[in-house]
Structure 1
């Protein structure tokens, strides 16, 4: 399976998003609790029971979507655990993609999108900016009309190249309306979007200095897998590239169609949407129908995913190579770590006995086809700690071992203190 993960942006929110995951998975519940703590308000209640009018406001929609995507991603890593070849996020979703790829701590990402949402909402007076979806006409005609009618006082530009059938324009309300009227006269279908500002346009430029200053407060890491940039449809993974691309994205168009074309050329066969709704799944059908796409938010898609390509991978003997769990990684670390303790009694009690117990547990899990529970993961980590202490492994090496395990399996949110 050549996999890309997709992360949606604004427009995917709905009342009740994330609730089914919180009801079933401890990791999703922890994700929302962490978000509530960082943001200083009850985001969980807003996402589960709030009015859609409030949830659609940019300052709430952005943290909400990031949190739901992170919760779903953590469940995906626990249940399936296959690393993607690429990640691709639409607008705000690029920050979700970066965070899930290990480039940014979730807590820091929450602060960034909270600030981003507020700045976007405050940059223009209410009603000054808007966006419209255009279909039924070639994008070159749309670009030409925007260029012809755009002026310093009445700005209108293409903000999203979503698919061959859909282009979004953004700018001053009157200018967007004028371009829409011209395009309708030429046979286009124009739909006004329910948004609070003119995103991905030069009208967002005043917020760039404040947003840049906000990004400068945080530490970024190299990505565990490449993220494809909205602004140029090119993958990146170095930490030094992240901020510049997020800043450019504020006033430059989202080149989604080009991004999908890029992953087509790279041989991507499957995509999984990690977030609410099926917006990006639907766009994939329009851009690259040969790429089989699932929405992890939909239970029927999750079932199809496990019964389809994952079952085939298992039969082909490749799933064991792709899927790593806390238990299997703890077992591997226990046997591959150098021993510095030659006391036979201590070695028996601290290494051999706990290792054999966890190995037996893993054999049962493998036979039943189950993933380890939270308590079983904790047992495996306790076993590894006993092994490392008994083998007299230096503390810094112990910490590296634990960090590698939780980062690789996407469970660092569940075991924050284990390497302390």
Structure 2
């Protein structure tokens, strides 16, 4: 990986550490963005293996669970929750076309940043987070807390010097008026008392252990040994470490660097100032709450820097991520970048926001498919009536019946409304020799939809409402209907096709049956 020069940088993702979890915001994101469920499916598999519990059951069950409750639960739950929320936010932003130039993590968030950059798999990220907790728990006598002081790092160190406790340390330097100290609980009680006498505010941080303190030194070698056994991959994105105060290099032994985090402070303020000087003007917080984005606002006050939250509830009770994406699109940092007019060309009747969401999630896949099709495409000789490159080999079923070649050039067909290009097929299917079996098609479609959505087949009864009852959003419905069309070799849908007219299973089955029968489809409104 080539280390960027300062002129290359503009956008940074920030991954929070302790406190970076907002239950309500995560639930809102789960309902709207499919990336959340996909991230949790992968993480659930690991937490089941490690703890016999699915973290999604803990976080997204019938009753909301806040961070304080998670801290009262097993220590791993709060740490995996923060990691999962950060990764989910990253995947949503990435699917929306936001491409960060550099990733930054705050303490625990540095693990999330390295996973997002490709250094470790999502599953290994869970293992690292869980082991980070386990090795600390195995150190007898490690007891302590973390407290935020409303003072700069120098003043905070002078306060700590008064107590002369070697296990007491400055853990994070957030900005000129906030420093987090870490150490034994009894000693921190004295720190809070002295701070009160000096007029320094003190607030306890929601953290299960006294991170970034010499008290954790015995855990360092065990943790490094564990992480060193995991597969480390080349970084696909630039990652800047507020702990190391530098970018990660290709030859870094990440097991050793992550182990050093136990005893080394987080100099977040210095990191933000370095990145701003390097040209970054947009900081997007990828994770719960908005603590880091608020810190950036304070650290860059008076500049034109943007600091944007994601998985937090805004002042109007909505998901802050939605407004953040609008800001990023307006700035040209998100959306269907580089493809002006694409929606008008491929899907003129599909709402712009639906197409943007679809293309952000599936655009790369669609483009790869087109490239693969073109690689193997050989036009048939004139007069064959088949635009497709491939002649089916014996025993292979063609995707659609061939249509006779027109005697003269056909008029331009309507622009297709589906955002999914399909392999070339005739403009209309030839009438079937016999009527298609509706029961058989219903059974096949139930299987197709069930496998794609990971639902039981029995839920796809004729009258079931896909969105209202099963929560299948319009983007996913477009994808599923395109899969069904491909499965039966149906023609590309013409302009005027309205997805809302096919919102139940029976209407989709009727649509497929009608198309296979060569009849014009009429759907109920």
TM range (shorter): 0.7 to 0.9
> Could you say which residue in structure 1 is the equivalent of 2:309?
295
Alignment match of 1:93 (pick from 109, 113, 116): 109
Question: Structure 1 residues 167, 315: CA separation in 2 closer, same or farther (over 3 Å shift)?
Answer: closer
> Could you say which residue in structure 1 is the equivalent of 2:155?
141
Question: Structure 1 residues 69, 192: CA separation in 2 closer, same or farther (over 3 Å shift)?
Answer: closer
1:39 positional shift: 0.8
Which structure has the highest helix share of the two? 1
Alignment match of 1:64 (pick from 81, 101, 107): 81
> Could you say which residue in structure 2 is the equivalent of 1:19?
27
* Greater RCO, CA 8 A, separation 6+: 1
Asked if 1:305 corresponds to 2:317, the answer is no
Alignment match of 1:327 (pick from 357, 360, 363): 363
Alignment match of 2:42 (pick from 34, 45, 54): 34
Note the aligned Cα RMSD (angstroms).
Answer: 3.9
Give SS of 2:14's match.
strand
Give SS of 1:123's match.
coil
TM-score, length of structure 2 as denominator length: 0.62
Asked if 1:75 corresponds to 2:89, the answer is no
Question: What is the rounded CA distance, in whole Å, between the counterparts of 2:283 and 2:169 in structure 1?
Answer: 30
Asked if 1:9 corresponds to 2:17, the answer is yes
Question: What is the rounded CA distance, in whole Å, between the counterparts of 1:239 and 1:20 in structure 2?
Answer: 40
> Could you say which residue in structure 2 is the equivalent of 1:196?
208
1:267 positional shift: 1.3
Question: What is the rounded CA distance, in whole Å, between the counterparts of 2:40 and 2:159 in structure 1?
Answer: 44
> Could you say which residue in structure 2 is the equivalent of 1:175?
187
Question: Structure 1 residues 23, 164: CA separation in 2 closer, same or farther (over 3 Å shift)?
Answer: same
Note if contact 1:129-1:197 (Cα within 8 Å) is conserved in structure 2. yes
1:69 positional shift: 1.7
Q: How many pairs are equivalent? A: 372
Question: Structure 1 residues 54, 173: CA separation in 2 closer, same or farther (over 3 Å shift)?
Answer: same
Question: Structure 1 residues 23, 239: CA separation in 2 closer, same or farther (over 3 Å shift)?
Answer: farther
Question: What is the rounded CA distance, in whole Å, between the counterparts of 1:314 and 1:268 in structure 2?
Answer: 13
Question: Structure 1 residues 329, 59: CA separation in 2 closer, same or farther (over 3 Å shift)?
Answer: closer
1:87 positional shift: 0.9
Note if contact 2:97-2:336 (Cα within 8 Å) is conserved in structure 1. no
> What is the 5 A alignment of 1:111-150?
111-123=127-139, 125=141, 128-135=143-150, 137-150=151-164
1:359 positional shift: 8.9
Question: What is the rounded CA distance, in whole Å, between the counterparts of 1:102 and 1:377 in structure 2?
Answer: 29
TM-score, length of structure 1 as denominator length: 0.76
> Could you say which residue in structure 2 is the equivalent of 1:405?
none
Question: Structure 1 residues 307, 43: CA separation in 2 closer, same or farther (over 3 Å shift)?
Answer: closer
Q: Deviations over 1:199-238 (max 9, x none)?
A: 1101111111221122012111222221111313212252
Alignment match of 1:109 (pick from 108, 125, 128): 125
